Amino acid sequence: MGSVNHWRLTVNGTEQTVSAEPGTPLLDVLRHDLGLAGPRFGCGMGLCGACFVLIDGQARSSCDVPVWAAEGTAVTTVEGLAMKGAGEAGGGGLHPVQQAVLDEQAAQCGYCISGMIMSGVALLQRNPAPSEPEVRAALDGNLCRCGTHQRIVRAVLRAAAAAPAGTTPAGAAAGGAAE
Amino acid sequence: MTLSPSLAANPDLHRWLSFAPAGRVTIHPGKVEYGQGVWTALAQIAAEELDVALDRVEVAPVSTDTSPDEGVTSGSRSIEDCGGALRQACAQARAAFLAAAAAKLGTGPAALAVRDGEICQDGTGTGLSYWSLGGPSLLGAAAAEGPAAKPASRWSVAGRSAPRLDLPDKATGRPRFLHDLVLPGMVFGRVIRPPGPAATLDEAGAVDLPDGVLATVRDGSFLGVLASQDRIAVAAAARLAAAARWTVRESLPDERGLKGFLLSQPTEDQAVERRDDPAAAARVRHTRQAEFSRPFIAHASMAPSCAIARWDEGADGMARITVWAHSQGPFPLRRALAAGLGLDQAQVTVHHVEGAGVYGHNASDDAAADAVLLARRLPGRPVRVLWSREDELGWGPVGPAMVARLSAGLDEAGRIQTWRQDVWSNGFLGRPGIGGTPRLLGLSHLAGAAPIPAAPDGEPSGAMGATRNAVPAYDIPDLAVTRHRLLTMPIRTSSLRSLGAFLNVFAIESFLDELAEVAGADPAEFRLAHLSDPRARRVIEEVTGFAGWAGRSPAGGTGFGLAFARYKGTSGYCAAVAEVAADTSVTLRRLWLAVDVGRVINPDGVVNQVEGGALQSASWALRERVRFDRTRITSVTWDSYPILRFTEMPEVAVRIVASDQPPVGAGELAQGPVAGAIGNAVADAAGVRVRDLPLTTEQITRAIEEA
């Protein structure tokens, strides 16, 4: 292994310092150094979407981003989506996309659902009222093996309908370190 | 009431449920949750029989220490086996508690009722409850043929859609999967696989290993590394892989001649079903024959397999092995590990922890064996092994490639009189321990170990293995179905969701459309004319009705297809209609499905499973194919093993046909009918019959050229 450096990362609005080699994948740092289980390892090549996080508001894979490249960005994982102080998860504290996933029962094994939620959140932030084809296109980088696609599309559309533009916490979540 | 087989095999009531902690009910199913939603349905069954609110019910993960042994969670049997047992166990527990309460109150049990766990008399609480009466002694009895479970007409929790118990954790990223489990002192292992199934390790080579590497393990062609962090283990594994020298041998068939390979191998040939009508042949006026095939198909779970193992050397000199696995069969895995390591099974404990969907037998059991082999090197330390994506696609067992050869004769009136179906395939039963060998990848690579032998296929029947659903459900007087199980296995095969049903139903339903054309009949009318089973007729009538089959307008490259099967010939009924746009490539637009799975426990759970089965099957039918060269599987990434994406997936609509028959599973009944419906829709749209899966541009173009 090469030299270990310190990296200052802003994750879910909190600045943290981690020690890792520069080439260490951001996903590995999130899961193992920061204890965040939401982003999941699926392929290690950025091909399946299970590890999607928001980086400066854009949904993208974290398995193929080296930790050095994440410095200075705002990283949001599924754990950072729930509205702070709004109650226990499972209740009113969920982001509208998370709530819609539960309302639509939009998962089977659920291994890839956190990555899809990140894609849905990023979509609604840039396009608060997407069409169904736009939702499908936004989720095309996320693979689902259980065949839950239709429910996930419905969930994103439901979240859009439930949360008119400007009222979702997506902006805050995507901004990460939002004041 | 006769005891359910699973309860008869595990008759102690306390194995199935406990009234702990206070105010809660914990059920202990022997079936595992892997995303199919079975925990929720089982909790509904327990809540219903115990008369408690659903949110009081917790489900304990399967452990070989505490759970009833219900074998493998497979074959869409959990609702029948485990659900049937839990229903009776809970009904008996309720009766035992009512009897105890009646004795205390000096009344008869018939005067008492249960309201959310509280014992009531004349609608008023008695101050007694499941929790105040004290559980263990009352659950000490063995199940007996006794109190009947509640009739479905009185259900209030079962039979209604209930949200999945596991989804809140999954939607919020709370640790729930085995991949998230961190045990104190845990270290990380990686295994370096050979460059092909017939490759052997000559020399591990000298390697400068990074700081943090704790040990390497080499035994025969099994090569692994242990490190303090997973990223260090990954880096060390890469260096070991680069330095290792292997002898590589060609052992795989020519991918371009796969059908010829399957048809030329030594086989075990067995009659599956025979109906003789000596006069049938004389009535035949038209004959047809056709050959259908599917390639090897990967399970392709979203999560590479993972396991944790700890090897403890006891003071008595006896090893104790603890394994955390996302295996579909914790008990069979325990037996196979013990047998493979020369241990008594009492020395091995397997705890199930959820993983991603597995869809049959993927590499989860192999990962467990890897973890044990590495843990043996560092006794006392939990060792986690995570497979790479490439190993998951390249080394996990796959669903066998198959050929089905069909012939049939029609009489003057266009009725089917004769049917012959021959199926060539490797066996589907490659799970741990089946056929008397461990069938665990890592163990087969150890020095002196024999390679994993060709997979068995179970009893020859239309419900099992490669010939699952090879016996058509149609009324045919003269019929013979034969299984040809390959005795060579160049690519390791095992169970893939729905087993042979995927190809057999595709073949039968494609062929039925070809016969309908000969008979000049509409595909729906032709099927109904050969079906006397009213439940079969009902799902076809339902799906053709709500899909608008009679008024369909195939035009401009659009086509519609219909297909039907009763899963295994004995389980759930499913009919599907597909709409495609096809010329030399296929766009699947819509799927309609009607199913009859008997009495439904969780309607939304059934719909979710049927939708999922349909969409996964669409991906198999249109896209999927394991690729290989002469030495190894080469489709080891999502680029080389593509599956259908969001923009390629159709709309899907599912209707449940009401039924008062016993409940059966819903996870595998859509796969065959959906493949058949898509094949028939493609034929309708493109005007050419494609008999070799997947229905890619390459295959359609070839079919056009050969037509």
Instruction: Indicate the residue of A28, A37, A146 with minimum beta-carbon distance to B612.
Output: A146
Average pLDDT score, chain B:
96
* Summary count for chain B: helices (H), strands (E): 19, 24
Whether A112 and B300 lie within 8 Å, measured CB to CB: no
> What is residue A92's predicted lDDT score, i.e. its pLDDT?
53
List chain B residues with CB under 8 Å of A109: 34-35, 302, 354-357
More confident residue, A71 or A88: A71
What is the distance in angstroms between the Cα of B527 and the nearest Cα belonging to chain A? 28
Type and span of the H or E element at B409? strand B402-410
Chain B residues in contact with A146 (beta carbon < 8 A) = 35, 357, 612, 616
What residues of A are in contact with residue B646 (Cβ under 8 Å)? 135-137, 139-140, 142, 144, 149, 152-153
CA triplet B454, B364, B457: central angle to 5 degrees? 30
CB-CB contact of B381 with B185 (8 Å) = yes
Q: Among residues B482, B418, B381, B179, which one has the least CA distance to residue B284?
A: B418
Q: How far is CA B356 from the centre of its chain?
A: 13
B-chain residues near A42 (CB < 8 A): 302-304, 389
Strand B222-227 with B213-219, pairing:
antiparallel
**Residue B76: pLDDT over 60:** yes
- Say if A149 is an interface residue toward chain B (CB within 8 Å): yes
Torsion-angle region of B359 (φ positive above 0: left; ψ -120 to 50: alpha; else: beta): left
What are the chain A neighbours of B604 within 8 Å (beta carbons)?
105
Q: What is the pLDDT of residues B181-237, one digit of tens each?
A: 999 999 999 999 999 999 999 999 889 999 999 999 999 999 999 999 999 999 999
Of B36, B303, B649, the CB nearest to A111: B303
Top pLDDT among B142 and B59 is at: B59
Contact B226, B212 (CB under 8 A): no
User: In angstroms, how far is CA A152 from the centroid of its own chain?
Assistant: 15
For position A88, what pLDDT does the model report? 46
Amino acid at A18: V
What HEC string does B85-145 produce?
HHHHHHHHHHHHHHHHHHHHHCCCHHHEEEECCEEEECCEEEEEECCCCCCCCCCCCECCC
pLDDT of A90: 43
pLDDT band with cut points at 50, 70 and 90 for residue B149: confident
Dump pLDDT digits (tens) for A119-165: 999 999 999 999 999 999 999 999 999 999 999 999 999 999 997 65
Q: Is A34 within 8 Å of chain B by CB? A: no
**Closest chain A C-alpha to B169 CA, distance in angstroms:** 8
Interatomic CA distance for residues A163 and A173, integer angstroms = 15
Cα B143 to the center of its chain, rounded Å: 29
Give residue B137's pLDDT band: very low, low, confident or very high (50, 70, 90): confident
Distance separating alpha carbons of residues B612 and B95, to the nearest angstrom = 38
Tokens standing for residue B255: 């991918």
Does residue B269 register a pLDDT over 60?
yes
* pLDDT attached to residue A83: 63
Residue A170: the pLDDT is 43
pTM of the model: 0.96
Q: Which of residues 115-134 of A touch B (CB under 8 A)?
A: 117, 133
Chain B, 345-364: which have a CB under 8 Å from a chain A CB? 354-357, 359
E strand or H helix at B419: strand B416-425
| CB contact (8 A) between residue B172 and residue A78 | yes
**DSSP conformational letter for A12:** T
* Residue pLDDT, tens place only, B596-605: 999 999 999 9
DSSP class of residue B344? -
Q: Which residues contact B342 (CB under 8 A, 6 or more apart)?
A: none
- Which residues of chain A does B172 touch, with a Cβ-Cβ cutoff of 8 Å? 38, 78-79, 82, 89-90, 94, 98
Mapped onto helix, strand or coil, the DSSP state of residue B325 is strand
Choose among B221, B211, B259: nearest CA to B442. B221
The torsion angle over the Cα atoms of residues B614, B617, B618 and B619, rounded to 10 degrees, is: 130
Sorting pLDDT into bands at 50, 70 and 90, what band is A173?
very low
For B590, name the nearest residue in chain A, comparing CA atoms only. Answer: A150
